[in-house]
Structures are given as structure tokens and as C-alpha cells.
Structure 1
Amino acid sequence: MRAVIDIGTNSVLLLLAERGADGALTVLRDQSTITRLGQGAGATGVLAAEAIERTLVCLAEYRRTAESVGAAITAVTTEGVRMASNQGDFLAPAEAVLGVPVRVLSGDEEARLSYLSVARETPEGGPLRVLDIGGGSTELVLGDGETMLSAVSHPVGAVRLTERLVSADPPTPAMLAAVRAAAMAAFRHQPVAPHPVLHALAGTATTTAALLLGLPVYDRLRVDGSRFTTAQVEALRDALAGETLAQRCQRPCLERGRADVVVAGVTILLAALEHCGAGTLVVRDRGLRFALV
């Protein structure tokens, strides 16, 4: 049994799972806790003390959970820590709390692992476009089967762009346009041949699926592999953008720690669909933690 902890800019993920001799993955627990480790880091370049403390509390709980089932812990972190000048202020106490070091993934490693988590569960192979929208960065990977052809970590994420460009509640049309422009400007550095399908994972995508499916509570089995048109995603984004934060928080499957950044996140998703020439979104409840298992 493995315990993989993925410490992101907005949320901390725990996957308890094991892969059998036949390659099948058995998931015992897949948990997400929003701690907003990257709070303000996009502007200040440093991790805030209160954000570090929130995250350490979560890590202590995750360690107890892993040890209760005898699972060996692997811990990694991504853009929220990568961009911080004081990352040592988090990494040292995090290692003390977990009992194992926390590895800072490069953008390329993050993109590769996210891609493989989907490619290994897509046995038919063929052209594949995989998008991972995080709080601080967004990885877009182009490949064929398990072979990656292009992988780029773009410095745009749901938290990062919300903090930088969204200051009204609800956001104004000009703010939405600014988020879209920032995402499109980032994606232009990675040319993409048009492809009709884009696979997306991580919190923005899975929340989008849960909301479009009308789920009263989150169900990863229904979310994983669900398909939507670009028009459906855009209609949801427009509906969310027309609501205040308090109104969005009333929606099932949309907690406050996601509700304040979801509009920017779905706008990034729409920009990626446009950049890839995709009319269909396939949402995957996957991610780098699955590849690490």
C-alpha cells in the first residue's frame, strides 16, 4: 500500500492505493483538503506563515491516516512551492511532520506524471491532449499513447490569476477577458495541432464535471471519464461568473476554498479548449499521484 501526498498551491491530495500484479489499481482513499499554501505567493514570491501552518496541520492528519493502514508515504509539491523564495520555511517542517522529505517537482516532471496518469488508463492509445489546471500553474501535454511529444508547465493557475486579475464579486466581464487573455498568451508558447478532444484533470476540471452532472455529492466514479461540449463548459462558466461568492458556495460540490477561484479556473479551461481546437472535454479523476503509485 502506498500513500502519495501531492501538495499543491490550493489543495493537498492524499491517495492511498496499490497496484496489483495485473496492473489494476485499487484505491482505498482519495482525499482532498484545501489549505491554499500558495496564498499571495504569486504576488509576493513567498509562502505566508499562516498558509504554511494550515498545510502542516493537514500533513499531520494525512500521516496519521497513512500509518493507520501501514502505507509508505511519498510526498511531492508543485508550483506553489517552486515559485517561493522561502520554500525552506515549508519543506523543513513538512519533512519533520511527515517523517519523509517532500520532493519539489519541476514543471516538466509535473506535466509528465499528469500525462501518464491518463495515458496508462487510456489503452486505445492514439493522439492525446492532457490538461492539468492547478492553483499556480497549468500543464498542457501533447502525446500519442504513452509517448509524450510536448509538455509545458504554464505560469497560469486558478489561484494565481484570481489574485492577480479578479477583484470584484462577482467578476466583471473585463476581468474575465483579462483572465482569458493571460491564459491564451501563455498557451501560445506551445503550438498545438487541432484535436477534437481534450482530457482535463485536477480540481477545476473535476468540479466542472460535478456541477455539470448535477451531483448532490462528489462521486469520482461518475466524474472520471465524463464528457462535455465546450458550449456546456462555457454556459457553466457564465453562470458561475454571474453569481456572488456566497451564491456559488451554496452549490453542491463547490466549497468556499474552490468557489472563490473557480471562475478563473474554468476560464483557463475554456482557453485551453480553444487553443487545442477541441470541442469535447473529457474529465479524468486522475493526476500525478496516480502515476506515482
Structure 2
Amino acid sequence: MSQQSGEPATPRAADPRGSWRAVIDIGTNSVLLLIARWHGDDLEIALDQATITRLGKGVAASGVLAPESIARTLAVLKQYRETAERHGATPLAVTTEGVRLASNRDDFLTPAAAVLGAPVRLLSGAEEAELSYRSVAQELGPTTALRVLDIGGGSTELAVGEGERLISSVSHPIGAVRLFERFVTQDPPAPSEVAQIEKTALETLQRGQPLDPEPVLTGLAGTVTTAAAMLLGLTQYDREQVDGSTFTIDQVRDLRDRAARVTVAERCQIWPTLEPARADVIVAGMTILLAAMQHCGATSLAVRDRGLRYALIERE
């Protein structure tokens, strides 16, 4: 499934100055393509697209990437390279936790490099956290007590800083796909399964850096932006409405509880912006979000439709 935001996805002619930059973020659940360029301090977005391929399906348990997951992801990378080239851009590709966990990572990285025409950079957890933080901080400028949460399919990064100064960051081995596969056996999940996800997420987060309470947590990535679209009651995903929206922890918990009481099929009917390929793991993702808000002492969630791909768009 694919989600697009920003400017219309109609391919643009290659820019004669060659200034468009393309970044591909290959995650455990989704593959994202950002094509953008800087004009001074303003970032112009040509395309921001996400396609769910679930590259890391089962990898936390098996330790290997499945051939069918690799094939799905390579097909999307081929499409993304063609799209980037139509904009006159050569994509920079990075990948994260799902591939870090895999003993057969070269079975993906080697053909992916061939498809893209360049090696895929395997990020560390620390690099993930830093890039996620920078993607927000570079736009907000001088602020205080910025906390950035990036919930992925295989890991969750929590970064703490002040303005553009990163103070500390941790990559935690919890993610929406990872905890769904570990704990959920029913549709809808049993209350005990949801409670176990929350307990595991909170205990894992608490093994990281101790934090003083801070009222606002800034959230990134598919779980958070999807939850925002659901809370806004959107019938079609709209980046302009999602980006910058804020919600209380009670609103997030109420949404999680409502989603947990219905089946995957019913979730897609109730919330039109919830993609079928994400609908099974969304409860686990929102439960990680709730645990993170508790861990940070946050009463409010600030949503940003950004992510580490934004920090990798180089300035001229």
C-alpha cells in the first residue's frame, strides 16, 4: 500500500540545475521516498511517498529476511529509482533495524544496490535517533526541551535535546511489527495481549536514559501520523492537516482502546485513512506511543510528518 503527501505525485521534468535530491528510507514496515530541495531555509517538496512492503516481517523471531519480503521491497526500490530519475535525482538509500537484525542482510543489500545503482547505507540505532531528531530540529530552530520519538516497525528511537543541540538518544528494540508479531495471536487482540505490549514497551524504554517530566513529546513516522489522521477523522490522508497537529494522551489512549476492540477489517471501515497493510500493527504501534508518553511524562503529543529522510536532504 502506498501513501503520498506534499505536492501532487505527478512526475516533474528534471530540473535543469539538477538541484532535486532524493532519499529512500527502507524501514522494517515501510519504504519511503522523499524528493525535495532547499531554497535557503525553506524545503521545497516534490514528492513524499510511503509504500508498505514489510521487509522485516518475522525477522525478529527468525533472524532472516524472507525471500518474498525482499522481492516486494526490491520491486518498490525499482519504481522509486525511476521516479527519482525523472526528477533528475540519484537516490541516497538507507536502511534500519529490520536489516540490522538479519543474518542474511546481504541477500537484500546486494540486489538493492544493483537496483538503485549505489550501495544502501545501513544505519546504526544511534544514527537513526540523531537523524530523526535533526529532521525536526532543523525546521523548528532554537527551542527548548525538544523530545523526538520515531516509532518504526522494528525499533523505536527517542532523542532528547535543546533546539538543534542533541543531548542524548537511544534506539530501543521495540517496534510496531516486532511487538505485534511477538504478542498478538487474536483478531482483535485480547486485552491481556495489549497489556503485555504496553508493559514490555514501558519496561524497555525505562532501561534507557532517565528523563525529567516534559509535557510535550514530538512524534514521527507511520504509526504517529496514521493515528493523527484517525484522530482528525480524515477520509483521505492530508499532510497539511496532520503535520503540526496536537493531541492529549487521553485522546491517544481512547483511540488505541477503540482500535483494539475491533477487528482489522473493521478498523479499515471505521478509519478510511488506515491502510490495510498497517491495520494489523497499528494497535501495537499506538501502545508503544502511549508507553513513550508515560515514560517522558508527556501529556501532549505533537505530530510531525517528517522523519530521518528529511535530515538527509543535503543543502546546496
Would you say same fold, with TM above 0.5? yes
* Superposition pairs of residues 58-137 of structure 1, within 5 angstroms: 58-137=76-155
Whole-Å Cα distance in 1 between the matches of residues 230 and 129 of structure 2?
26
* Superposition pairs of residues 1-293 of structure 1, within 5 angstroms: 1-20=20-39, 22-190=40-208, 191-250=210-269, 251-293=271-313
Q: 1:147 to 1:124 in 2, by over 3 A?
A: closer
Q: Render the CA deviation track for 1:216-273: whole Å, top value 9, x for unaligned.
A: 1001111111000000000000010011011012221111111000000000000000
Q: Render the CA deviation track for 1:202-221: whole Å, top value 9, x for unaligned.
A: 00000010000111100111
Q: Find runs of 4+ consecutive structure 1 residues off by over 6 angstroms.
A: none
Whole-Å Cα distance in 1 between the matches of residues 308 and 100 of structure 2?
16
Whole-Å Cα distance in 2 between the matches of residues 278 and 205 of structure 1?
15
Whole-Å Cα distance in 1 between the matches of residues 114 and 174 of structure 2?
31
Letter in 1 for 2:49: Q
Normalising by the residue count of structure 2, what TM-score does the alignment of the two structures yield? 0.92
Measured after TM superposition, the shift of residue 124 of structure 1 is: 4.0
Q: Render the CA deviation track for 1:167-212: whole Å, top value 9, x for unaligned.
A: 1100111001110011011101221111000000000000010000
SS of the residue aligned with 1:60? helix
Whole-Å Cα distance in 2 between the matches of residues 86 and 134 of structure 1?
20
Whole-Å Cα distance in 1 between the matches of residues 290 and 131 of structure 2?
23
**Structure 2: unaligned runs, 5 residues or longer:** 1-19
Measured after TM superposition, the shift of residue 12 of structure 1 is: 0.1
SS of the residue aligned with 1:121? helix
Corresponding position of 2:6: none
> Which range moves more in the overlay, 245-254 or 228-237?
245-254
SS of the residue aligned with 2:79? helix
SS of the residue aligned with 1:198? strand
**Structure 1: unaligned runs, 5 residues or longer:** none
Q: Render the CA deviation track for 1:99-155: whole Å, top value 9, x for unaligned.
A: 111000000000000000011111241111100000000000111111111100000
Whole-Å Cα distance in 1 between the matches of residues 42 and 265 of structure 2?
41
Normalising by the residue count of structure 1, what TM-score does the alignment of the two structures yield? 0.99
User: Identity over the aligned pairs, expressed in percent?
Assistant: 62
Measured after TM superposition, the shift of residue 72 of structure 1 is: 2.1
Whole-Å Cα distance in 2 between the matches of residues 73 and 33 of structure 1?
16
Whole-Å Cα distance in 2 between the matches of residues 180 and 150 of structure 1?
24
Letter in 2 for 1:150: S
Letter in 2 for 1:227: T
Letter in 2 for 1:116: R
Contact 2:220 2:304 in 1 (8 A): yes
Measured after TM superposition, the shift of residue 79 of structure 1 is: 0.3
